[in-house]
């Protein structure tokens, strides 16, 4: 093909996982790596690099902005932000950074993912190149400090100095964040992994380039990607070794389905030629749903902060549990996008807590609406539909616990009134109805190309991340998760990508490539 160019590896998606793979694979000067990224570069762009600007990126030109189908028991108006920029969501989110809990990874092994237990994956933390530190003292806003004190006193949980220093079951404190406290800049996957190696002659970045179909080389092996270039033309990029899909939990299954890889009956009904019947593609859509409770403060808050959601809280409602089952982010801004729609006022100065379901039992799915690559897929998270009512109960309990913290000194001295849902809502039924209608997401879709055992008919990948029944393709992003980690998942994605680099190259030492001073 005259419009075809070839490399050893083609990485589809220059996001959190794709940046890691591109950097690691191109360490071999004889290995040619091409990264296909649908968005622009983040290099030198202060809008992206300044971490505290994250909230202004939502709904911006850097946001793909996916919506959901009707959510009868949840909020149908959530905008699921997915980043359109080099570095992916690590260039777009708050960069709250937790190592996965050992119990989360034990669940993966129990789900048939041999080789992904805590003894294997957690040592890869020594390879991470990001600067991950607890929020710096200079960025610790006094109201966030008072939230931590109040939460510890009200609930009897410990104050945690560094959530990544050891395994925790519950606690409150300032988060660890991937950033440079001196500049306020991100330590995203792009900044940490790609910026230092952009001059490598064997690394090619194809920016503003959108992959929309995988192609066979004629022997049944998938080794080509058809793309639309920045100028509107199309071309084909060939992978002589492997195609590595890192487009995220929405766009990776979307690309597979557009290529005829997925649930055959659904794709056939859209007129898509079937390449391989793989019914699990698009299923097992996971998220961390949360709601919000808003207070007005009596005055403007001090201006210092890392990213306005610097502190939080983890709780076990079952004292015998080994992992938290309720989480809160504490926002130093009134996050009212959903409460405004319900008619609540927006205070000039305010804060909020967001009770979060760490391991939601409601599971959704995504699918194609048509064979047109330009049409966005349908997302159905099925929020708050688990038969036992676990997710709904978690939100109700969380709203009540948030009120306990807000009524406790020294935080209570800051607060004038509860704006949403308001103190008049007291019953379980009232709090559930409000909590579900005001629900939001922490932008953590996952699971739609999950890995699993050979005996699992809905597993899309084997435990080495290879696409089932198709040669030449691996998936490396949050879509591979069989179950959702308790914590914010970005670091888990980084660890998965670091291990994937070893699976791809056959390297076994976890110390390879460890930078000086890495945590």
Which two three-digit tokens encode residue 10? 């083609």
Tell me, what's the pLDDT at 519? Answer: 32
Look up residue 320 and give its DSSP letter.
T
Tell me, what's the pLDDT at 1? Answer: 37
Q: How confident is the model at residue 508 (pLDDT cuts 50, 70, 90)?
A: confident
Tell me, what's the pLDDT at 172? Answer: 98
Instruction: Give the contacts of 33 (CB within 8 A, at least 6 positions apart).
Output: 7, 8, 9, 11, 21, 22, 25, 26, 202, 203, 204
pLDDT tens readout for residues 397-418: 999 999 999 999 999 999 999 9
The mean of the pLDDT values for the chain is 96
pLDDT tens readout for residues 463-484: 999 999 999 999 999 999 999 9
CA–CA distance, 343 with 334 (Å, rounded to integer): 15
Q: Inform me whether the pLDDT recorded for 218 exceeds 80.
A: no
pTM, two decimals, is 0.97
Q: Inform me whether the pLDDT recorded for 321 exceeds 90.
A: yes
Q: How confident is the model at residue 252 (pLDDT cuts 50, 70, 90)?
A: very high
Instruction: Give the 3-state DSSP-derived string for 183-207, with helices as H, strands as E and coil as C.
Output: CCEECCHHHHHHHHHCCCCCEEEEC
Q: How confident is the model at residue 2 (pLDDT cuts 50, 70, 90)?
A: very low
- Alpha-helix runs per DSSP H in 423-489: 428-437
Instruction: Give the 3-state DSSP-derived string for 215-282, with helices as H, strands as E and coil as C.
Output: EECCCCCEEEEEEECCCCCEEEEEEEEEEEECCHHHHHHHHHHHCCEECHHHHHHCCCCCCEECCCCC
CA–CA distance, 167 with 29 (Å, rounded to integer): 38
Total number of domains constituting the chain: 1
Tell me, what's the pLDDT at 515? Answer: 30
Check which CATH number belongs to the domain holding 156 and give it: 3.50.50.60
Q: Are 81 and 65 in contact (CB under 8 A)?
A: yes
425: containing domain: 4-511
Query: Per the residue annotation, which of 92, 329, 440, 444 is the catalytic one?
Result: 444
Residue 232 falls within a domain, yes or no?
Answer: yes
Look up residue 411 and give its DSSP letter.
G
Tell me, what's the pLDDT at 514? Answer: 44
Tell me, what's the pLDDT at 199? Answer: 98
Tell me, what's the pLDDT at 191? Answer: 98
Q: Could you give the angle at the alpha carbon of 353 between the alpha carbons of 171 and 414, nearest 5°?
A: 100
Q: Inform me whether the pLDDT recorded for 517 exceeds 50.
A: no
Residue 356 falls within a domain, yes or no?
Answer: yes
Residue 420 falls within a domain, yes or no?
Answer: yes
473 forms bridges with which residues in the sheet?
A: 243
pLDDT above 90: percentage of residues in the chain: 95
Tell me, what's the pLDDT at 269? Answer: 98
* 444 catalytically annotated: yes
CA–CA distance, 80 with 318 (Å, rounded to integer): 31
Q: Are 215 and 222 in contact (CB under 8 A)?
A: yes
Q: Inform me whether the pLDDT recorded for 277 exceeds 50.
A: yes
CA 75 centroid distance within chain: 19
Tell me, what's the pLDDT at 220? Answer: 80
CA–CA distance, 435 with 431 (Å, rounded to integer): 6
Q: Inform me whether the pLDDT recorded for 14 exceeds 80.
A: yes
pLDDT tens readout for residues 23-82: 999 999 999 999 999 999 999 999 999 999 999 999 999 999 999 999 999 999 999 999
pLDDT tens readout for residues 229-244: 999 999 999 999 999 9
pLDDT tens readout for residues 280-309: 999 999 999 999 999 999 999 999 999 999
Residue 519 falls within a domain, yes or no?
Answer: no
Position with higher pLDDT, 179 vs 335: 179
Instruction: Give the contacts of 497 (CB within 8 A, at least 6 positions apart).
Output: 16, 17, 18, 20, 21, 24, 246, 476
Residue 518 falls within a domain, yes or no?
Answer: no
Residue 516 falls within a domain, yes or no?
Answer: no
Q: Inform me whether the pLDDT recorded for 342 exceeds 50.
A: yes
Using DSSP's 3-state secondary structure scheme, residue 49 falls into helix
Average pLDDT over residues 103-112: 98
Average pLDDT over residues 433-456: 97
Residue 302 falls within a domain, yes or no?
Answer: yes
Q: Inform me whether the pLDDT recorded for 513 exceeds 90.
A: no
Average pLDDT over residues 195-213: 98
Average pLDDT over residues 384-394: 98
278 forms bridges with which residues in the sheet?
A: none
Residue 221 falls within a domain, yes or no?
Answer: yes
Q: How confident is the model at residue 509 (pLDDT cuts 50, 70, 90)?
A: low
Q: How confident is the model at residue 12 (pLDDT cuts 50, 70, 90)?
A: very high
Average pLDDT over residues 364-377: 97
Average pLDDT over residues 125-153: 98
Tell me, what's the pLDDT at 512? Answer: 46
Q: How confident is the model at residue 334 (pLDDT cuts 50, 70, 90)?
A: confident
């Amino acid at each position: 093909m005259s419009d075809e160019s070839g490399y050893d590896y083609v990485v589809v998606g220059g996001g959190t996982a794709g940046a890691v793979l591109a950097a690691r694979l191109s360490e071999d000067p004889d290995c040619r790596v091409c990264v296909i990224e649908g968005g622009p570069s983040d290099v030198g762009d202060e809008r992206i690099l300044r971490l505290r600007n994250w909230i202004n990126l939502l709904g911006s030109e850097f946001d793909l902005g996916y919506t959901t189908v009707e959510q009868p028991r949840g909020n149908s108006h959530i905008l699921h932000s997915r980043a359109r920029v080099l570095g992916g969501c690590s260039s777009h989110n708050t960069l709250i950074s937790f190592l996965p809990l050992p119990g989360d990874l034990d669940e993966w092994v129990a789900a048939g993912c041999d080789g992904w237990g805590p003894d294997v994956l957690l040592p890869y933390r020594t390879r991470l190149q990001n600067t991950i530190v607890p929020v710096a003292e200079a960025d610790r806003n006094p109201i966030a400090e008072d939230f931590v004190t109040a939460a510890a006193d009200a609930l009897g949980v410990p104050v945690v100095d560094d959530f990544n220093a050891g395994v925790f079951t519950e606690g409150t404190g300032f988060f660890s964040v991937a950033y440079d406290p001196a500049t306020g800049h991100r330590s995203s996957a792009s900044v940490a992994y790609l910026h230092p190696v952009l001059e490598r002659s064997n690394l090619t970045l194809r920016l503003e380039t959108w992959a929309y179909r995988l192609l066979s080389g004629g022997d049944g092996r998938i080794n080509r990607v058809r793309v639309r270039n920045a100028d509107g033309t199309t071309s084909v990029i060939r992978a002589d070794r492997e195609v590595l899909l890192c487009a995220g939990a929405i766009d990776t299954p979307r690309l597979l389905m557009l290529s005829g890889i997925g649930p055959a009956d659904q794709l056939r009904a859209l007129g898509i030629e079937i390449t391989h019947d793989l019914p699990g593609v698009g299923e097992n859509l996971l998220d961390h749903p949360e709601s919000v409770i808003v207070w007005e403060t009596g005055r403007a808050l001090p201006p210092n902060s890392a990213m306005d959601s610097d502190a939080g809280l983890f709780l076990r409602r079952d004292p015998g549990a080994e992992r938290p089952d309720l989480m809160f982010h504490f926002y130093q801004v009134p996050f009212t996008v959903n409460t405004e729609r319900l008619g609540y006022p927006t205070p000039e100065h305010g804060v909020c807590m967001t009770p979060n379901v760490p391991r939601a039992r409601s599971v959704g799915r995504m699918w194609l609406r048509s064979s047109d690559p330009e049409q966005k897929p349908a997302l159905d998270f099925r929020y708050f539909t688990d038969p036992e009512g676990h997710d709904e109960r978690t939100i109700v309990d969380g709203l009540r616990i948030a009120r306990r913290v807000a009524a406790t000194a020294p935080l209570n001295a800051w607060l004038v009134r509860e704006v949403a849902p308001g103190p008049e809502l007291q019953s379980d039924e009232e709090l559930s109805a409000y909590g579900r209608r005001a629900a939001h997401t922490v932008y953590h879709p996952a699971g739609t190309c999950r890995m699993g055992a050979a005996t699992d008919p809905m597993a899309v990948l084997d435990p080495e991340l290879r696409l089932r029944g198709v040669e030449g393709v691996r998936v490396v992003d949050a879509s591979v998760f069989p179950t959702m980690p308790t914590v914010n998942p970005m670091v888990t994605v980084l660890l998965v990508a670091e291990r994937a680099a070893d699976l791809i190259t056959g390297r076994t030492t976890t110390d390879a490539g460890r930078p000086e001073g890495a945590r």
